[in-house]
Amino acid sequence: MLRIYDTRTRKVEPVTPTAGVVRMYSCGPTVYRFAHVGNLRTYLLSDLIRRVLAARRVRVRACQNITDVGHLVDDAEIGEDKILMQARAEGKSTLDIARFYEDAYRRDCAALNIRQADITPRATETIDLMIELIVKLMEKGHAYAVPDGSVFFAAETFPTYGEISGNRLDALQPGHRVEGVDPRKRFHADWALWKHADRELTWETPWGGVGFPGWHLECSAMSLRYLGDHIDVHTGGIDLRFPHHEDERAQSNSAAGREVVQRWVHGEHLLFDGRKMAKSTGNVVLVQDVADQGLDPLALRLAFMEHRYRQQLNLSWDTLRAADRTLRRWRARVAEWAEYPSAPIAAAYSERAQEAFEDDLDTPTALRVLRELERDDGVAPGAKFETFLHLDNVLALDLSSEIGRAPVLPPGAAELLDQRARAREARDWDAADRLRDELAEKGVKVADTPDGQTWS
């Protein structure tokens, strides 16, 4: 069974189904911009968990929220709603902005073979769940309303706060608003469950006034409603440990009266060319940027899996080009092996890869197993074919996509082949050899025959 690192216990722990089902909640996108490749690495985490469990015939019920209200520019309690800000910048309605970027997110996930969750509730369509949860927390003494209609969670009523991030309540420094510490709070570490506002995207409340939900509240309300008060796995990026997941845990546990989430799993940051991706530094990379470079978007998925999900990854265009070459080579080999008689799966290789997947999603080891299998002349081509396709149920690299298709040259290879043909005609053997090496780097093997050069 799958074993995975639990951020709260700080140990690798087993993922155990409840009544034959693993219930998994994943923090989804705030739909005000295109998802960059760092975001998508985090979303790949939940997809890998689902696929590894499915390989053992374990059913997964997955829920991922769509945040289309409530996420402020400053992840504290001040600033402007990201959706409203982008709608004003683009001169569109908030609904148009949210749906446009939600659709873009789904296309990007499809390009990387990241399966959509079974349930994908939107914040704007589940406000009633959030109001119900706030009322419940108020009745239990975990939340309080203030005169303007805002509601705060009383942090001191949750004594185990900080188990995920290690941040203790008594050590937290007061957060400061522009005019100083928020005087409405009973304790400086309390956070807003509901914010009073006079703006677009607000709702009336039973305790009086209008406003909108706090970002942290959304995930508690949705996960409790759609997965219940026993959630086996909760995933998200490492940046969500604090305050988002600490606040979410406090809200959910206080409402349910029990430890709701069994395993908190976090994916590490992704850098590009040694820097954190940010609009201000101009190094934000999108899936479309990868495609525009002539690379298969699934090369991005392969590059992600070359590192463990909880290791910081420094991606580069050279890394992506190398992954693209590997992807094209494996597809070509699978198409070649498909022409041979079928043979049983190479069990030793398959079991080693499966063990790696189940050992805290050790995808780098699983990929090394495939490379060993590719080079092993003692394994029949038909067995290699079956094994690669069997493991591709988890890898999801579309390794069978070239079967029965005429080979297609990677970008730039046709020009290099033409240059090499002219070099051979001119008897410029040094240039011909150099061009052969350049083609090999693109995954194109060239052979010279009496009738001219051929390639594969």
Residue 77 labelled as part of a binding site? no
> Residue 274's closest CA among 309, 310, 237, 315?
315
312 is written with which tokens?
Answer: 């910081």
Q: Do the annotations mark residue 200 as ligand-binding?
A: no
The Cα-based distances of 188 to 98, 155, 171, 237 in angstroms read: 33, 9, 11, 26
Amino acid at 425: E
402 is in an annotated binding site: no
Nearby residues of 440 by Cβ (< 8 Å), 6 or more positions away: 446
The reply to whether 244 sits in an annotated binding site is yes
224: tokens are 């409790």
> 279: annotated binding-site residue?
yes
CA 232 to chain centroid, in Å, comes to: 18
Written as one letter, the residue type at 198 is D
Contacts of 316 (CB under 8 A, 6+ apart): 272, 273
Site of tokens 């956070």: 191
Q: Please give the full DSSP string across 387-407, using - where no structure is assigned.
A: HHHHHHHHH---TTTTTTS--
Q: Which amino acid does the sequence have at 321?
A: R
- Spatial neighbors of 352 by CB under 8 A, at least 6 apart, are 365, 369
Q: Rounded CA gap, 444 and 438, in Å?
A: 9
Q: Which residues pair with 234 in a beta bridge?
A: 25, 264
Annotated binding-site residues read: 27, 219, 244, 248, 279
Annotated binding-site residues for ATP read: 279
Annotated binding-site residues for Zn(2+) read: 27, 219, 244, 248
